Structure 1
């Protein structure tokens, strides 16, 4: 069991309801990994890139669990008050509907086909907004349960036996639920325990190295779809016992690597607070970068000589990380605010 290091006990904790810059910095790093993973994906699907494929599996083992865990942490004060419901509708559901339409129409245009909006079926990255809407709506329920985390784990494991469909992003909503509930309901001291823990930091490098070696070994043996946590046993053409075993292993790895990742996040804020501010504005990076990735794919860049090379992969990774940081900046957030947090005064009371 993790215990809170002395340094964590002596640091001033943010006031209840206040935004914690540490988790915004964690969110920023997780966002950069999300963007890099998506730009790697077209190369990962092609043969001959085993090292990059292993990096992809390693990142996918823990980056969304961390993202979902942090989302649970930022949902701890949600009780369903009218003002909170208004923010949930304007800051999560409305952007989901807008960006699902925009991204779906853009992808269809590049493919040369038609587009029929389906608000119940997310388009690529927009699944997270829909899942977040459902998770946050359920937050008061999890606070009422005696054993919320155990219940969430049981729900996620039972999900593998269901005929999961793309509607409502139900596969990811159920399978990633334990990470949200952990951030939502675990005692504050346990959530904050990894911050600055020297023992965890010391263990991070060898554990991540071992996990990378395991990912390299898994490349020809396990499809990356297992790491998306969107399909049940039937969708992955596996029996439920095998799905249960593999999913348990992947999620346990995600939990361990996620804790070590949080231990590596800088504890002390920079004086300007710019890194936390970038993390707080990470929604723009999450939703906008697919447009650039799809443009590269349809422009044939992934089939050209330079990009598939080792040097090209390094350049691609650096460019993806740079794009993620750029999209998190304040000017971009201001520019996209009508699409990221539209005002719904005409629709909502008060």
Structure 2
């Protein structure tokens, strides 16, 4: 009896099997916002070949370009708040951002070379073409997240960096650094935001005020079409490269940021908070972003936009609806399953297992042994 008492493990009731942790619930608001923002991105790209024939369409294009990427970047920054240099997060950055950049930059360059019959187009991972700049920017922004979380005044510092970038045409096209630096404040703003900040714009009062704000923005956009260079909204050139005096660069950074944040707040105010039919598509917006460019560029290369009827009001509406439909389909689960090997590769073979991961595996093995005892 003494021996049995000295071996309490034989009398202990077996522990229940360990349950895997419950994954966190996705917020429908953010998935809805990402989906609607990516639809606006696709529509804006489809308007580019048509906007020269319509001042109204060009005004809408200007307004959309003032806030659609800032809204998307703010959300990207918000969901990067937990990023640190932990090995598993660095692996996710490489497999989810760097690898897709290499693949899609190569694919887009080859598509431009052979689809547009442009023998001068070569594959250069240092000079992003068309949509792929965002992956370079996201990689740099996220990699520098620990820095922005360390400094005392991250947002003013990021704004200062963006303002200084507009003064230097010598930054050049390598890695599209002008865009990386000029869009940086929106990412840092997302890092600084908390859930209650989004709640502030999700009120009935802000929703009602946003209607005259958008109407006013369209009127200003219509007025500005012949008076303003729309390239300012792309944030890819210095002031000198746009033929403007050097001091106008920092001024335009502040002015455009004010306009962008106002319109972004109005956009967020109208994003549904409940689960919608398109909410699940919010998880696949990067797929829609990277893939829809092939459709838009194919239409451009092969003259699909050359039909005269597309350059009238009905044709513009038709192109807008097609663009929204295409990017919606590209965000769906079947498309994501097909392209997951490129967009979210596992690549366990390429990385060493860190000590924390090995310890977690040992704990799981011990729990299984205890459960089976």
Query: Are the structure 2 counterparts of residues 131 and 17 from structure 1 closer, same or farther at C-alpha, using a change threshold of 3 Å?
Result: farther
Query: Are the structure 2 counterparts of residues 170 and 346 from structure 1 closer, same or farther at C-alpha, using a change threshold of 3 Å?
Result: same
Which runs of no fewer than 5 residues in structure 2 stay unpaired? 1-21, 354-373
1:165 to 172, 180, 185: 172
1:145-187 per-position Cα deviation (integer Å, ceiling 9, x unaligned): 1111111111111111112322112111111111101111234
Structure 1 stretches of at least 4 aligned residues deviating more than 3 Å after TM superposition:
15-19
1:55 aligns with 2:57: no
Please identify, of 228-237 and 49-58, the stretch whose mean Cα deviation from structure 2 is larger: 228-237
Counterpart-to-counterpart distance in 2, 1:92 and 1:129: 6
Counterpart-to-counterpart distance in 2, 1:220 and 1:16: 51
Query: Are the structure 2 counterparts of residues 140 and 192 from structure 1 closer, same or farther at C-alpha, using a change threshold of 3 Å?
Result: farther
State the superposition RMSD in angstroms: 1.6
Residue 346 of structure 1: how far off its partner (Å): 2.6
What residue number does 1:297 align with?
300
Residue 228 of structure 1: how far off its partner (Å): 0.4
What residue number does 1:136 align with?
142
1:330 aligns with 2:333: yes
Q: 1:155-304 maps to which residues of 2 (within 5 A)? A: 155-163=161-169, 164-195=171-202, 197-270=203-276, 275-304=278-307
Conserved? CA contact 1:194–1:200, under 8 Å: yes
- SS of the residue corresponding to residue 232 of structure 1 reads coil
- SS of the residue corresponding to residue 317 of structure 1 reads helix
Higher alpha-carbon Rg: 2
Conserved? CA contact 1:285–1:328, under 8 Å: yes
Counterpart-to-counterpart distance in 2, 1:221 and 1:325: 34
Conserved? CA contact 2:162–2:253, under 8 Å: no
> What TM-score do the two structures reach when normalised by structure 1?
0.91
Residue 106 of structure 1: how far off its partner (Å): 0.4
Counterpart-to-counterpart distance in 1, 2:350 and 2:294: 29
Conserved? CA contact 2:106–2:123, under 8 Å: yes
Residue 17 of structure 1: how far off its partner (Å): 7.2
> What TM-score do the two structures reach when normalised by structure 2?
0.85
